[in-house]
Structure 1
Amino acid sequence: MSRNLHDHILQIASGLFYSHGIKATGIDAIVKASGIAKMSLYKYFPSKDDLVLAYLHKSAEKMQNMLLVGLAARQCTPRQKLLLIFEIFAELIASPEFRGCPFFNATAECADASSPIQQASTAFYESFCTQLTVLAEQAGAQEPAELARQLTLLITGALVSGQLQSNSHAMRSAYNAAEVLINCSVDNNR
């Protein structure tokens, strides 16, 4: 039962953090929405920061799973996978529930670079860039780490644009730019 209550609290808090913002969502709102006692919340999450970090960890798992499932759904080369990632993110942006990247949103609300919240957001994007580096290496990129950084910039920029302007087709434009970068960096026979 305790794991279910933990997960229930985290699910409710995650939805509120994502839709209303971290600072705008107080503990009382989470307690009310989850239908639990405040002491129960504090039993599993001793502070709001602990709950926010759990939310970011859950968001990281969700995004990683989205990418893994999306990439596994099609048989394609590493070069094609680099572009497929843009299509996966385009689907995310097109979702009516899309309210931006949870890591960007958290970073914008917590400007202290030394905070665990900032560090969790940074860690997610470092991990994502590392995944792109591995794919770029597998694709035969001349400078895989540089290509991965460039692709990460395109994706993050398109995510922000997609948050600011719905139907902006930002990820399509990022895809087109990525294709040029990949063609310049990767042997077309791979």
Structure 2
Amino acid sequence: MNENNALKNHILNVASDLFYKKGIKSTGVDAIVKSSEVAKMSFYKYFPSKNDLIKEYLEKDCKVLEYRLRAELQKKNICTEKALAIFSYFAELSSMEGYRGSAFINVFIETSMDLEFIKDQSLKFNSTLIKLFYEQLNYDFSKDVSTKMAEQFTQLLIGAIIQAQMKNSCDPVLFAQSTAKELIEKNYAENCYCS
């Protein structure tokens, strides 16, 4: 990594931390410049506006999240267990000190869709979850059933993430996981490809 990319990534990492802890509206360029210990000109060299920085923050977070979830999925052998492992990942996150929910949900709520790219990135987060659930469920269920369940699981999970943040507890995510498991069992009885 060259020095320019290292500095850009440093600014992005510092901003990501501030955005997550304090929110994007409460975090100004001056605070990011001060915390990252760079000149304001350097900041603007890499991020012509705060919106450019927010967009990269959300894009980076989506890539990191998908990478981490795929790593978690590799730890399980049975596909339906992999689908439930997605809930486990978020339950673990929500039990950590300093947990403030999903960056996508937080930014979306904080901005009330002021910017189209925020809506787009939030929908991409949603689509990523649907895709990951679908990939696991499609081994045992038809395309239609897998699609429906993936969407149900995503809605359960997003609601649970919000509740976990509000209650400062992983219990809502574990409850959502339990509900997802019941849906899997119900659909196994009715629609499984298994012999």
So what's the TM-score if we normalise by structure 1? 0.93
Give 1:24's aligned residue: 26
Alignment of structure 1 residues 49-64 onto 2, 5 Å: 49-64=51-66
Q: After the TM superposition, which segments of 4 or more aligned residues of structure 1 sit over 3 Å from their partners?
A: none
1:158 aligned to 2:160? Answer: yes
The superposition leaves residues 38-79 of structure 1 with CA deviations (integer Å, 9 ceiling, x where unpaired) of 1100100111011001111111122112211111123x2111
3-state SS in 2 of match to 1:73: coil
CA distance in 1 between counterparts of 2:61 and 2:165 reads 17
Superposed CA RMSD: 1.7
Give 1:119's aligned residue: 120
Deviates more, 1:125-134 or 1:110-119: 110-119
Residue 105 of structure 1 deviates from its aligned partner by: 0.5
CA distance in 2 between counterparts of 1:44 and 1:146 reads 41
3-state SS in 2 of match to 1:57: helix
The AA in structure 2 aligned to 1:6 is K
CA distance in 1 between counterparts of 2:27 and 2:156 reads 31
Alignment of structure 1 residues 1-190 onto 2, 5 Å: 1-74=3-76, 76-112=77-113, 115-141=116-142, 143-167=145-169, 169-186=171-188, 187=192, 189=194
**Counterpart contact for 1:31–1:41, Cα < 8 Å:** yes
Residue 95 of structure 1 deviates from its aligned partner by: 1.2
Unaligned runs of 5+ in 1: none
3-state SS in 2 of match to 1:139: coil
CA distance in 2 between counterparts of 1:168 and 1:82 reads 18
3-state SS in 1 of match to 2:97: coil
The superposition leaves residues 120-145 of structure 1 with CA deviations (integer Å, 9 ceiling, x where unpaired) of 11112112212212221112256111
The AA in structure 2 aligned to 1:107 is F
**Counterpart contact for 2:87–2:176, Cα < 8 Å:** yes
The AA in structure 2 aligned to 1:46 is P
Task: Give the number of equivalent residue pairs.
Answer: 189
The AA in structure 2 aligned to 1:135 is Q
The AA in structure 1 aligned to 2:109 is A
The AA in structure 1 aligned to 2:118 is I
Identity percentage of aligned residues: 34
Residue 168 of structure 1 deviates from its aligned partner by: 5.2
The AA in structure 1 aligned to 2:148 is E
Unaligned runs of 5+ in 2: none
So what's the TM-score if we normalise by structure 2? 0.91
